[in-house]
Amino acid sequence: MNVHQLRHLVAVTECGSASAAACSLCLSQPVVSQAVQVFEVTAPLVELARSDLGAD
Protein backbone atom coordinates (compact mmCIF):
# COMPACT_ATOMS: atom_id res chain seq x y z
CA MET A 1 0.00 0.00 0.00
CA ASN A 2 1.29 3.44 -0.85
CA VAL A 3 0.11 7.02 -1.05
CA HIS A 4 -0.72 6.77 -4.76
CA GLN A 5 -3.01 3.79 -4.21
CA LEU A 6 -4.75 5.62 -1.39
CA ARG A 7 -5.11 8.72 -3.57
CA HIS A 8 -6.64 6.62 -6.34
CA LEU A 9 -9.06 4.95 -3.92
CA VAL A 10 -10.18 8.33 -2.56
CA ALA A 11 -10.68 9.64 -6.10
CA VAL A 12 -12.81 6.62 -7.04
CA THR A 13 -15.04 7.08 -4.00
CA GLU A 14 -15.34 10.83 -4.58
CA CYS A 15 -15.97 10.57 -8.34
CA GLY A 16 -18.12 7.44 -8.20
CA SER A 17 -16.23 5.43 -10.82
CA ALA A 18 -12.73 4.45 -11.86
CA SER A 19 -13.21 6.16 -15.22
CA ALA A 20 -14.20 9.48 -13.67
CA ALA A 21 -11.41 9.19 -11.11
CA ALA A 22 -8.88 8.48 -13.84
CA CYS A 23 -10.02 11.56 -15.71
CA SER A 24 -9.73 13.74 -12.61
CA LEU A 25 -6.25 12.35 -11.88
CA CYS A 26 -5.13 12.60 -15.54
CA LEU A 27 -4.45 8.85 -15.61
CA SER A 28 -5.82 5.93 -17.59
CA GLN A 29 -8.69 3.92 -16.12
CA PRO A 30 -6.73 0.63 -15.98
CA VAL A 31 -4.01 2.29 -13.88
CA VAL A 32 -6.58 3.50 -11.35
CA SER A 33 -8.44 0.18 -11.28
CA GLN A 34 -5.24 -1.79 -10.77
CA ALA A 35 -4.09 0.51 -7.95
CA VAL A 36 -7.45 0.11 -6.19
CA GLN A 37 -7.32 -3.68 -6.58
CA VAL A 38 -3.81 -3.81 -5.10
CA PHE A 39 -4.96 -1.59 -2.23
CA GLU A 40 -7.93 -3.89 -1.55
CA VAL A 41 -5.62 -6.94 -1.43
CA THR A 42 -3.08 -5.31 0.89
CA ALA A 43 -5.72 -3.70 3.12
CA PRO A 44 -8.57 -6.26 3.19
CA LEU A 45 -10.74 -4.11 5.44
CA VAL A 46 -11.17 -1.68 2.55
CA GLU A 47 -13.41 -2.79 -0.29
CA LEU A 48 -15.48 -0.75 -2.71
CA ALA A 49 -19.12 -1.55 -3.30
CA ARG A 50 -19.36 -1.91 -7.08
CA SER A 51 -22.44 -1.72 -9.28
CA ASP A 52 -23.35 -0.96 -12.89
CA LEU A 53 -23.73 2.66 -11.85
CA GLY A 54 -20.26 3.05 -10.32
CA ALA A 55 -18.44 2.47 -7.06
CA ASP A 56 -19.20 3.61 -3.50
- Whether the pLDDT of residue 17 is over 70: the answer is yes
Q: Give the model's confidence band at 46: pLDDT under 50 very low, under 70 low, under 90 confident, else very high.
A: low
Looking at residue 54, what is its pLDDT?
A: 59
Looking at residue 30, what is its pLDDT?
A: 95
| DSSP bridge partners of 51 | 54
Higher pLDDT, 44 or 7: 7
Residue 9 belongs to what domain range? Answer: 3-55
3-state SS assignment for residue 50: strand
Helix (H) or strand (E) holding 4: helix 3-15
| DSSP bridge partners of 55 | 50
- Whether the pLDDT of residue 5 is over 60: the answer is yes
Number of domains forming the structure of the chain: 1
Report whether 11 contacts 48 (CB < 8 A): no
